[in-house]
Each structure stands twice: as structure tokens, then as C-alpha cells.
Amino acid sequence: MTMSSHRQSKKKFTVLAVLALLVILFSINYKTGGVVSSSVRNIAAPLWSAGDSASLRLQSFKSTFTTKQRLAKELDSLRAELKAVQDLKYENLYLRAQNSTLLSLANTNTLLQGEGDRTLVQVFSGVGVRPYGMLLISTDPNQRVQVGSIVLTTHSVALGNVSSVSSRVATVRLFSAAERSVEVVIGNDSESPVVATAVGVGSGNFVISVPRDTEVSVGDAVYSSAALGRAIAIVGSVEKDPTNPLTTLRARVPANIQGLQTVLVE
């Protein structure tokens, strides 16, 4: 018998054996009232359950991944909307400033008469709008607000100078900004001027040190060359200590900087 004939005989035997096993199982199942089929189902059930569980986990993973992608897109969209809202906020502030400035100009013509080349502009206000030691002001259509321009109150007290200008907003660095130093002259005595250095401590306040025997009084004006000789503050207190060779002066801008609505630029 050849090898090929032996393999064919073996295959036929296997098929017959399988058929015989199936016939026996069906017979036993029939005689036992379905015990065999029930056992097969009991064995197969966990396998089907495991397959269903794996399928559910796969679907859950796909759903989670899809959700994260959607949330990432929504986050990007919210960031873009936030930026647009911030842009609208500054746009609104600018338009309000322009409107208020026009109204102020209409009501302060007498203030501006005889005051030289000055421009009245609006001060931006609101939480988070004013950086510490700075003012944000509107620019003017005639581009008179430039870097270095002096900014004053409507009563001609110098507050600071313009440090930067954009298309609609200019930044003013206050003379009273913390740790900013400016050379000053105190009082109106032209024959014996009191020359000193005023150091800003924020919120319109200055600290000035002068020799102990210097004649200075509360209410004396403080002028600065940084403000083109204009007054920047008024002496509010004179503190003398017999053990200290220096007298400490505390001066303040005679205006509520946080409450300013308009300022003059020259």
C-alpha cells in the first residue's frame, strides 16, 4: 500500500469516527432529554460572555478616545472664543473712551483755552486693565500721544510719561511707580532751592530724604525736571528724628489716580 493510499484511508477513518461520535452524542442527547446540548451551552456561555465583554471594552475605549478628541476641539474653540471676547472688551473700552473723550472735550473747552498744545484723552478703567504703576490711556486721531509725552491731571499736576503707544492704547509709566526715582525741587524758593531725589512707592506716593536742617513745610509743591518743571506732588508730612541726619518727606499726587477718567497729554 502506498503512502498516498494510507493517508486517504486515515482521513476516511477520521471522518467516519467523527460522524459516529456525533450520532452517539445526538442519541445520548435525545435519550437524556437534551442534557448534552445543555452542557455544551453551559460550557460555551462563558466564552460568548467573555467575547461580549471584550467587545464592550473595545467600544468603551473607542468612545473614550472619541470623547477626548471632541473635548480637545471644544477646548480650542473656547480659547478662540475667549480671545475674541477679550478683543471685543478692549474694542468696547476704546469706543467708550472715544465717546467719553468727545463729551469731555465738549464740556472742557474753557479748561483747554490758553493751556498750550494739549490733548484730552480717556483713562481706561476696570479690573485687570491698569497694570501696577501704570495708566492705560486712549490715543488720539491726530497722533499727538507719543512716547515721552507728559501726562497731567486736568489741574496740571504731572503724573508720568508715555512709555509705549499702539494703534488705540498708550501706556503711561507713573512718576510714583514703585522704585522709580526722579530728581525734584521742593518749594518755590528760587534763591535757595531744595534739590533732592523722590522715590516712588506706588499709588501716587513718594518718599524724599533731605538734610535734617533743610527748611521744608507740609504743603510745599514738588517739581521735577522729568515733568518739564511741572509739579508732580505736594509734601504731606515731614518726619524728623534727632538721631537721624536726614529728614524724611512723604509727598503725594493731589489726585485720586485710581478714579481718574480723563487726563491731559502734552
List the domains of the chain with CATH numbers: 181-255 (2.40.10)
- Mean pLDDT (the chain) is 77
b (16+ CB within 10 A) / e for 232-259: bbbbeebeeeeeeeebebbbbbebebee
Confidence of residue 189 (pLDDT cuts 50, 70, 90): confident
Inter-residue contact 178 to 201 (CB < 8 Å): yes
78/176: higher pLDDT: 176
> Which region among 19-28, 79-88, 110-119 has the lowest average model confidence (pLDDT)?
110-119
Mean of the pLDDT values across residues 104-123?
58
Of 28-32, 70-74, 203-207, the range with the highest mean pLDDT is: 203-207
Distances (CA, A) of 211 to 84, 176, 199, 218: 56, 22, 16, 16
Please give, one letter per residue, the 3-state secondary structure of 96-124: HHHHHHHHHHHHCHHHHCCCCCCEEEEEC
Mean of the pLDDT values across residues 45-70?
65
Residue 213 scores a pLDDT above 60: yes
Decide the pairing of beta strands 194-202 and 119-122: unpaired
Mean of the pLDDT values across residues 62-82?
78
